[in-house]
Structure 1
């Protein structure tokens, strides 16, 4: 070795090298009761209840480090139901139900057809964000929960115009496989809901909420609460489909009963199309202005 390189050479072997060099344990210490294995290669040890803080730290660090390596600074988050299907699938379900003369199936299929327009809008919005932001110094990447339905549509839109997108999957009792449109190196899996939701916000410059159920409501109201209470930077929250949201949540009643302030209604905006959503983001950030006037879109300034 060149003597000059020894000045900066590592004094201790990296953990990866140690793991590679570790051979099989001596026969006396090869049983299941043995504690001989290196701690960071011992899966049984890492999965102990007492190691939960370590596992939580790993779920914070892995997506953060990978996104930094991929130079991802700003994201748009798309929330929405896993149960909303593409229009062609919805139409096929209706055709099958009609052929079977099954009234219950027909009613369900008709609802799928009505809601499928949101799949199309999420798909077009994912494509629009990806295409429009290419001219920016720091492109904006679509982030979804990584599953089917609206999440699939957002990733699909970005994929179809040749862009990268992120999926933050969660382990569920009923297995949820990642949709096939997520960029592989940006497809993550979480055990902890809390850390997953934290990663939704860390680089986001805006959040777009399509119709959804408990999961979507949980994600939307957490963001509204964090912004309302000043725990994170204010950013646009766009609710797709005024009719759906105002029927689901009586925001005016919350104001009338004093549960929220009237000014809190300014925390979100209703939109109906992909173009209207992008225009709202343009108005907020001035994407058509010179880069020096846009500012730092993706800074993470939630309370530590």
Structure 2
């Protein structure tokens, strides 16, 4: 694989000249955004509701045709098709193209859910069905919603965002437990080592049972065999059926109600804010809790609002520090049961709760001037890689992203530099330093305040 990255990069540069299309970041003050978002949900659910048995395949767009990843992704598409599964991908080149190619040649639906990116997103020629999206968060909902299993190949920030979001949604019971299979031990084993040593042992942000959700294999045959042995169930109904259509319409209306409420809140209340994220699992005597509290306190004294997920642990610490500084202390919390009460900490000056995790994440991300990530698990990691994906793809302007805690974050930084950048070339060199690792609240204050 390593010998082919120059050929692969040249391929993308040549082809993207024809397909380049930039899209502005989400502007929550633009009322028309609401209708565009609704339209994309309707389009996506209508397309995916027609499918019967589906598996979603994720992976890098930046791999050559003769690489391990392309070869095994092609085999996955082919073997899944032979077993009667439709295949869904992001619709681009690389691993996505390979999986679609194998599926199409096996005679099943080969679906692409595409989004235009400035450099590398090109719709591949092996799609039998395709839907295009302007909004990353909607596209990811559609990639996950109908899946009866997910197979993940080596990739960059986008792939890591997708795998951690999927694991997070299963962990918090927002989607049903499905097989999540990572192909390529050489790539995934170092990441699993980080999760065990740092997220599990150091931060207590995940449990052993959570890590067991991710199954690592070496071949397409192993991945497909796991899926064939699992209990297959259709995740979406067909909107052409009256009962399904009514239920889906109601779901979309509820989604849009949360979008409207969130956008109105941001327009009315939020200015000059910093988002602080991290695990809910730490207590006040923990060094990271204390670091989050002091960081937010220093930022509050500098005139910044502080936004968190509104819950316990790092979120509580940050809100506590902001409130003590007399600064607005805002929490966007999650209702873990439909229509239930959200878990909120006692240090919020304002809050908003959400039933849909993807809307909460959108509202958490859109307005921020800077992000500070403390140690965490699947949810924290998913939001970190989503922010970096949005910046990389010009869906969000580049801003300060700080990772607090060198002992925790250095192993992940090593994985990014040595595996993603140097060995697999799934990110370009200019995107390897979108973040900075720090160890004190004073560093955070200095770096954010100077912006």
Q: 2:63 aligns with which of 84, 88, 91?
A: 84
Aligned equivalent of 2:195: 251
Counterpart check, 1:75 vs 2:54:
yes
Out of 132, 148, 154, the position equivalent to 2:83 is 132
Question: What SS is found at the alignment partner of 2:212?
Answer: helix
Quote the Cα distance in structure 1 between the aligned partners of 2:46 and 2:205. 40
Alignment of 1:15-26 (within 5 A): none
Indicate yes or no: 2:43 matched with 1:62: yes
1:188 to 2:167 alignment:
no
Q: What's the secondary structure of 1:205's corresponding residue?
A: coil
1:212-249 Cα deviation digits (max 9, x unpaired): 00000001100111111111111110011122112234
Match of residue 231 from structure 1: 174
C-alpha separation in 2, matches of 1:208 and 1:175 = 21
Query: TM-score, structure 1 length as denominator?
Result: 0.65
State the Cα distance separating 1:158 from its structure 2 match.
0.8
User: Aligned equivalents of 2:122 and 2:71: distance in 1?
Assistant: 21
Cα distance in 2 for partners of 1:180, 1:243 equals 30
Q: In structure 2, how many angstroms separate the alpha carbons of the residues matched to 1:67 and 1:256?
A: 39
Residue correspondences, number: 210
Match of 2:114 among 169, 173, 192: 169
1:198 aligns with 2:141: yes
Q: Of 187, 192, 216, which residue of structure 2 is paired with 1:270?
A: 216
Q: Secondary structure at the match of 1:269?
A: strand
C-alpha distance in structure 2 between counterparts of 1:177 and 1:244, whole Å: 25
TM-score by length of 2: 0.44
Partner SS, residue 149 of structure 2: strand
Do 2:48 and 2:146's aligned partners in 1 also have CA atoms closer than 8 Å? Answer: no
Deviates more, 1:169-178 or 1:205-214: 169-178
Provide the C-alpha distance between the structure 2 equivalents of 1:73 and 1:224, rounded to a whole number of angstroms. 23
Q: Which has the larger radius of gyration?
A: 1
Structure 2 partner of 1:107: none
> Secondary structure of 1:226's partner?
helix
Counterpart in 2 of 1:53?
34
Please state whether the residue corresponding to 2:31 is helix, strand or coil. helix
Cα-to-partner distance string for 1:22-77 (whole Å, 9 max, x where unaligned): xxxxxxxxxxxxxxxxxxxxxxxxxx921111100100111222343xx3133101
Could you tell me which runs of 5 or more consecutive residues in structure 1 were left unpaired when the two chains were aligned.
1-47, 88-115, 134-139, 286-293
Alignment RMSD (CA, Å) = 2.0
Aligned mates of 1:204, 1:163 — CA distance in 2? 15
Q: 1:131-189: CA deviations, max 9, x gaps?
A: 112xxxxxx21001011100000001011223221001112233622000011xx1111
Residue 153 of structure 2 is aligned to residue 207 of structure 1 = no
Deviation of residue 122 (structure 1)? 0.4
